[in-house]
Structure 1
């Protein structure tokens, strides 16, 4: 156990146990349940049975869907529970959908203590009478021939009138519940309110199944929302996606794809400038997509998916995929200029450099491979990226030793260059001459060069530590297209006062964001269900405002 913390407030107490990295959480959860079971008899009688669960990332909702309309909050909640939640839960990949907010129905029995005293009845008698009359219990089974039929006693209340007809004390005359109490079909006392786009509404939290693809599942949820909006438009109900995890994932993957494509095109352009041949450039350019396709096959074999980390690994490896191929092509080209046949030049040229390119690739692999064995959250995050780089480099080595020699033997030509490439060659020779002069100067002034490099190295270290001129962070900042505000009024403020305050903030947000605003979701108070457990010290004096903005790229 690494740390134990707790939060207690009226009606609920939350104890969070944090374990060291690598702990078997299934075993730990069972151990915690066993220990709590040993003390359950010592808890107050009014306390419910402790709920123990392990935190799973799949418990985090993949989408928050706001439901609003020109109807009372109680009707909006009923529509959400009866029509929207079942529609979401039928979607493949969705584990559950929970409704929060609105007015929840509650049957209240208001006992008149004076009448109760007049009939000389204790309050426990009323409670037991209600409990015994509202039952749904198994009553055994009936066996007839080859079949067995299960029986149940269904004696649950179906109407408010039936509750009033409960006999509290039999006799002549009997005492009914309606004689000593008033039964009201009402709503639960509000400790929270959900506001969607500045109006009371409800929010539906959608959770995915463990192992389900987030992007695919959110896509199906969005299609179902479009269908529901068309179906419920006549009832004045509208659904808005306030937050979904797929948005940032799709944007990140799109950016990585764009970067990888730009990197590949730039690599081909640089190759063209220095190889001075369209045929040679085409041969090398083929190595990039071929190596990536083979890498995809290896990733599929390993059960890896395309995500931000694996795409980052591919983008990182793009420039290194052509290194071995360039060496093979250049050596083959040299042999062709020496008069050898295309087939012989490809065979001899590849065999001469095979040890060198293998050593070069293995050296780079040796840098990335240890990341796979890094423990903790860092290893978990970067393991896939390191594996993709290793796979891509090994695949590029395979392509350089097989496909590149084949293409060189078929397509590589040695001949006169055109004017454009001749001009490039003259510029390259001039650049080489300048580099030669700079290198001679550096060799003749060794002490000065070493001193300059040492100062740069020390200065770089000092920028990171101890002066902290270069900041450090776990994950870089990213524009997710949404804002979140926490609002706190003085402790003890009523829910109504908090609602007034957040309504003013909502109007200000609408004024500032203008056309960039897509939706606002406000949670006032403690929240409901499991979501309330993660709101810490929330109360009627607190609120959370979630603002969804238009896509930053639009």
Structure 2
């Protein structure tokens, strides 16, 4: 079979070169469009159900909300685990499904179950499904800051009503979560004495407040051969309009809200806060959807922030980037690119030092870009992304991508030189076919053994398999691509480039001859002392096994992200004000740490 492939490649040399050129161009275009992320897709289909139950303590939230929702979710098909967290006024239920299930169908099933749950929950308690996000979803943290004359309410409203809607409109953004500041709300403080004097009850007050600021419909009327809609326009957000709301009537005179209560704006009860550079601020967390290019989405977000900055209220800034996941990805890609260039340079130097011929070196090096760019096409077809694991697989394979080509081109070069001195010289075509066939079995066996070494990665289950399988896929794809290159493109390039120099009676380089002499001497000594060699090998294996047992273990190596996260856990029951005060003190300490920390920020949230 492989003889047939080599023969047909040599008979269709121009076609092979054209296909190689198309693969290089197509692969380069595909590589620039592949999604880029930190890690492979590790997202197990999970739906988050969040329920606000203001005023309830954790035990009541557990009994009245969480337990009811969990009971309904346990019977769904494909559910592997249901877990929950019940806090002060908040219930979060995580429903995990089996790998490979459709997340959108899962959400539809949960939505159907939630319609059955609503009647069993306390009044005004409505469960909601969270957005579809990624396990590495938090791609950016930014801080909104303002001078002292701008109130925290104005900063929070800017984040809620200007920044958040604009960022959610960007394709790929799953959620935008503001933290800190103050949420504006109306505050009505009734005066019991005034209410008793004017004869206003609490029910009347509550009813008036419920009906404030809404538009109502009155049907339509038929006048002058036309229909006119009847509307009651009452929509307003002004504090003065709330104060002038009619609560009741006494002796035909209206009683206004301002007569029985104090009306003002107040801050909603906080369950979290945030700070930046030792001062209160609003920190905005931006999360992405699964299978979205993090780098491209980050650039879209930055462009949107730049456009929004011009329309922000005076003094408010939204350009304080605390965390940018794309920095780590871009640095990783730059490091791999540098490694690739250095590896190609080292391989070129080594090949030239051994072969002492630029043509054979060029033929061998061709396998690297053709194999990598061909692998990029396969990545696209398989739905893989550029991430830490796939880049690691390519980096490991760099040195081996030229192995097949080197073995093939070196044997072809040697056989062409021998054919030049033969009594009956054969055609270049026959020499290249036979020379490739001589080493083909060894190349195939070596490649298959390497592939088999990585096969156990695909037997891993759960998140480990999802994490490490792309590394094996990238490695195997690139190695198999180099094998195809060695049986198609390498013989064709050898046909065009090697015969002219083979006629010049070139010999092996001095370095190659020196290593061959050293290898012969080492083999002779090893064959003379077989027991010593076997004992040394056994000792080496045992020593390596002992060292492997003593090596430190970790799920992932440490990443140099230039970002440090410090989690501080306080005693249960600590107030938000106290935890926020401690957070600001910690920020100040970090700012005083010799100038090495540029942008400290803190967030205090409920557990």
Same fold (TM over 0.5): yes
Residues 88, 26 of structure 1: alpha-carbon distance in 2 compared, 3 angstrom cutoff: closer
- Find the aligned partners of 1:79 and 1:206 in 2 and give their Cα distance: 16
Q: Among 432, 436, 441, which residue is 2:523 paired with?
A: 436
Residues 252, 150 of structure 1: alpha-carbon distance in 2 compared, 3 angstrom cutoff: farther
Shift of 1:241: 0.7
Question: Please, what TM-score do these two structures have when normalized by structure 2?
Answer: 0.75
Tell me the equivalent position of 1:477.
558
- Find the aligned partners of 2:290 and 2:367 in 1 and give their Cα distance: 38
Conserved 8 A contact 1:88-1:224: yes
Conserved 8 A contact 1:29-1:53: no
Tell me the equivalent position of 2:90.
12
- Find the aligned partners of 2:108 and 2:318 in 1 and give their Cα distance: 43
Q: Does 1:48 align with 2:125?
A: yes
Question: Please, what TM-score do these two structures have when normalized by structure 1?
Answer: 0.82
Shift of 1:246: 0.8
Residues 377, 442 of structure 1: alpha-carbon distance in 2 compared, 3 angstrom cutoff: farther
- 1:375-454 aligned at under 5 Å gives the runs 375-412=461-498, 413-414=501-502, 415=504, 422-443=509-530, 445=531, 448-454=532-538
Residues 188, 133 of structure 1: alpha-carbon distance in 2 compared, 3 angstrom cutoff: closer
Conserved 8 A contact 1:139-1:152: yes
Q: Among 246, 250, 259, which residue is 2:330 paired with?
A: 250
Residues 434, 298 of structure 1: alpha-carbon distance in 2 compared, 3 angstrom cutoff: same
Conserved 8 A contact 1:345-1:409: no
- Find the aligned partners of 1:513 and 1:49 in 2 and give their Cα distance: 49
Residues 97, 151 of structure 1: alpha-carbon distance in 2 compared, 3 angstrom cutoff: farther
Residues 127, 142 of structure 1: alpha-carbon distance in 2 compared, 3 angstrom cutoff: same
Conserved 8 A contact 2:340-2:395: yes
1:243-264 deviation digits (Å, cap 9, x = unpaired):
1221111122222222222222
Conserved 8 A contact 2:143-2:282: yes
- Find the aligned partners of 1:234 and 1:37 in 2 and give their Cα distance: 45
Tell me the equivalent position of 1:534.
none
Residues 141, 242 of structure 1: alpha-carbon distance in 2 compared, 3 angstrom cutoff: farther
- 1:155-194 aligned at under 5 Å gives the runs 155-171=234-250, 172-194=252-274
> 2:600 is paired with a residue of what secondary structure?
strand
1:36-63 deviation digits (Å, cap 9, x = unpaired):
5555434333x51223447631793321
Shift of 1:28: 5.0
Q: Among 152, 170, 187, which residue is 1:108 paired with?
A: 187
Conserved 8 A contact 1:256-1:308: no
Q: Among 412, 435, 452, which residue is 1:349 paired with?
A: 435
1:126-151 deviation digits (Å, cap 9, x = unpaired):
1122213432456668999xx99998
Conserved 8 A contact 1:133-1:166: yes
Which ranges of structure 1 fall in alignment gaps of 5 or more residues? 527-536, 538-554
Residues 140, 291 of structure 1: alpha-carbon distance in 2 compared, 3 angstrom cutoff: farther
Q: Does 1:65 align with 2:142?
A: yes
1:412-441 deviation digits (Å, cap 9, x = unpaired):
2234559xx754245324422442244224
Q: Number of matched residues?
A: 515
Residues 235, 132 of structure 1: alpha-carbon distance in 2 compared, 3 angstrom cutoff: closer
Residues 30, 83 of structure 1: alpha-carbon distance in 2 compared, 3 angstrom cutoff: closer
Shift of 1:87: 4.6
Residues 6, 373 of structure 1: alpha-carbon distance in 2 compared, 3 angstrom cutoff: closer
> 1:84 is paired with a residue of what secondary structure?
helix
Conserved 8 A contact 2:417-2:505: no
| 188-197 vs 17-26, which moves further | 17-26
- Find the aligned partners of 1:364 and 1:374 in 2 and give their Cα distance: 18
- 1:82-481 aligned at under 5 Å gives the runs 82-136=161-215, 153-171=232-250, 172-226=252-306, 235=315, 237=317, 239-339=319-419, 340=425, 341-369=427-455, 371-372=457-458, 374-412=460-498, 413-414=501-502, 415=504, 422-443=509-530, 445=531, 448-465=532-549, 469-481=550-562
> 1:62 is paired with a residue of what secondary structure?
strand
Conserved 8 A contact 1:272-1:278: yes
Conserved 8 A contact 2:274-2:281: yes
> 2:386 is paired with a residue of what secondary structure?
coil
Residues 343, 148 of structure 1: alpha-carbon distance in 2 compared, 3 angstrom cutoff: farther
- Find the aligned partners of 1:142 and 1:252 in 2 and give their Cα distance: 69
Tell me the equivalent position of 1:79.
158
| 50-59 vs 257-266, which moves further | 50-59
> 1:7 is paired with a residue of what secondary structure?
strand
1:92-133 deviation digits (Å, cap 9, x = unpaired):
544553432212211111112233334444322211222134
- Find the aligned partners of 2:402 and 2:210 in 1 and give their Cα distance: 77
- Find the aligned partners of 2:536 and 2:221 in 1 and give their Cα distance: 95
- Find the aligned partners of 1:326 and 1:148 in 2 and give their Cα distance: 87
> 2:128 is paired with a residue of what secondary structure?
coil
Which ranges of structure 2 fall in alignment gaps of 5 or more residues? 1-78, 420-424
Residues 279, 440 of structure 1: alpha-carbon distance in 2 compared, 3 angstrom cutoff: same
Residues 231, 55 of structure 1: alpha-carbon distance in 2 compared, 3 angstrom cutoff: closer
> 1:16 is paired with a residue of what secondary structure?
strand
